[in-house]
Amino acid sequence: MKVLFYSINTMMKVPNFGSELDVMKQHLDAGDEVFVIACQENLNSCLVNGQHWKSICYQCQSRFQRGMDLLHMPKDHILPFLKNVDYSLLPATFNSIKELLQYSILGINLGEGVVASVAAVLKDHDFDTLQHRALIRQKLKMSYLVASTIQHYLETIKPEKVYLYNGRLAETRPVMSSCIKAGVDAYAVERAGTQGKYELYKNASPLDIDYWTQDFKRLWTENPTGKREALGEQFYVERRHGQDQGDTSFTKKQLANFLPEDFDASKKNIGIFITSEYELAGYPDRDNPIYTDQNAAIRQLSDSLLSNPNIVLWVRMHPNITFSKNTQLLELQEMARQEIPNLKIIWPDSKVDTYALVDHVDTVLTFGSTVGVEATYWGTPSVLAGRAYYEYFDVCHIARSHDELLHLLQNPLENKDKQGALAYGHGLMTNGYPFQTFVQTELHEGTFLGESFQNETFWKRQKTYLLRKMDKLQTKKKAKNA
């Protein structure tokens, strides 16, 4: 069997690259013919190297080559990107994000991945397409190069399977889309819910709610009663205690049992737990079905409930919403300046304990945050007004309109049965495939075939240092001339 890997994420967290190497080794051991598309400074603006620094390219290529050497990958099976691609067909500008989202060429949509990538760079879901046309053009050219390259190798190599990392951004989305168009099975490789494992999403993105639902329900039915409930409980207990699971815990720096000083238990308190908007930009399937975004929901709710002085809305911002002056943060800061009586905002760096807030509010409202299912487990009624991985597990009251949401928030609610929450937690504790040859030594570190990717030679470190100095000088020079 011929298998093709699109491997460009070596400079992300080591377990990401380790997952790819682990799967490559399994195919090689099975006698399959493995090919790997490699970046040789071809991607002008990837996620980990947006400025295309030579030092990062050098480190990336060195780490990739080390992995290939450990696998004894034949040189003629390491495939380059296409050269001399004609970019003249690509639009120079887009008048809106909506127009960009709809852009397709080569039979696939490129606009959604570009929107996701631009939003990731700016950390902003609502950017000006004209102001940022140079960045959009850069990402679009990169995406077009990826699409042209993968479609070329699908025709010439004719693989039966293709593997790629994640598949959300401009540099990876065209791979999944092109494979689906060509009828070739594509697998997005990602971290699993716990350490020591990776997950494979067949012909789907890790953002695909239906995929998660089917997989988690399958895992629940396959595991024996008793053990599965214990694992489900373990998921929630570990998260509450700030333990790193599949990724870094965002609550470990908060103060246990710490509530806002002005929290009044005699009021009807509603905890609104929001996520960073930019992380789902470019993925229309996850758009909120009621509101344009979470801030719009907060504004409308605050206005609608203003006449009831007994209701207080506590907006707990996700720590990932950094103080980078993006649209989401600026709008929330403006709301705070207006001193709206029923609206209290807890900023990303606040030490307020998320779980203490969950315990003490009357109702939890989320738009997709995991806190929505955690609230149900800890006994607080949960309302969902958006899309979430757990929406089909019957763990929260789901609002389909603004009026319905108002009704749910103003009236007493019973907590949903914990069974669905346990099934969801169990899914995150058991999904994925155990590493066979990659060993995850820490959350973001590991070894492959006993070799660490951190032990670079003295000369490689020196070369990286000199290239970084040159990169910084070049960046300063460009900034001066801008």
8 Å CB contact between 267 and 310 = yes
**Interacting residues of 348 by C-beta distance below 8 A, sequence separation 6+:** 317, 318, 319, 320, 321, 322, 323
- pLDDT for res 32: 98
The residue that leads in pLDDT, 315 or 8, is 315
Distance CA 84, CA 145 (A): 10
**Interacting residues of 359 by C-beta distance below 8 A, sequence separation 6+:** 378, 379, 380
List the domains of the chain with CATH numbers: 2-208+433-481 (3.40.50), 227-429 (3.40.50.2000)
Q: What is the mean pLDDT of residues 84-89?
A: 94
- pLDDT for 373-411, tens place per residue? 999 999 999 999 999 999 999 999 999 999 999 999 999
Helix and strand totals (H; E) in the chain: 15, 18
Distance CA 475, CA 469 (A): 10
Predicted confidence band at 10 (pLDDT cuts at 50, 70, 90)? confident
Q: What is the mean pLDDT of residues 458-467?
A: 82
What percent of the chain has pLDDT above 70?
98
Backbone angles phi, psi at 337, to 5 degrees: -65, -30
Q: What is the mean pLDDT of residues 193-221?
A: 96
- pLDDT for res 455: 58
Distance CA 419, CA 233 (A): 10
- pLDDT for res 92: 94
- pLDDT for res 112: 98
Predicted confidence band at 460 (pLDDT cuts at 50, 70, 90)? confident
C-alpha neighbours within 13 Å on the C-beta side of residue 2: 12
Predicted confidence band at 213 (pLDDT cuts at 50, 70, 90)? very high
| pTM beyond 0.85 | yes
pLDDT surpassing 70 at residue 53: yes
Q: Which of 128, 166, 203 is nearest to 48 (CA)?
A: 166
3-class secondary structure, 273: strand
- pLDDT for 104-154, tens place per residue? 999 999 999 999 999 999 999 999 999 999 999 999 999 999 999 999 999
Average pLDDT, the chain: 93
8 Å CB contact between 415 and 388 = no
- pLDDT for 267-317, tens place per residue? 999 999 999 999 999 999 999 999 999 999 999 999 999 999 999 999 999
Distance CA 419, CA 258 (A): 29
DSSP 160: S
Q: What is the mean pLDDT of residues 370-375?
A: 98
Predicted confidence band at 36 (pLDDT cuts at 50, 70, 90)? very high
Predicted confidence band at 323 (pLDDT cuts at 50, 70, 90)? low
Q: Which of 5, 284, 4, 6 is nearest to 145 (CA)?
A: 6
pLDDT surpassing 90 at residue 26: yes
Distance CA 67, CA 445 (A): 15
The residue that leads in pLDDT, 246 or 375, is 375
Distance CA 204, CA 220 (A): 21
pLDDT surpassing 70 at residue 456: no
- pLDDT for res 404: 98
**Maximum distance among all Cα pairs of the chain, rounded to whole angstroms:** 71
Distance CA 274, CA 251 (A): 14
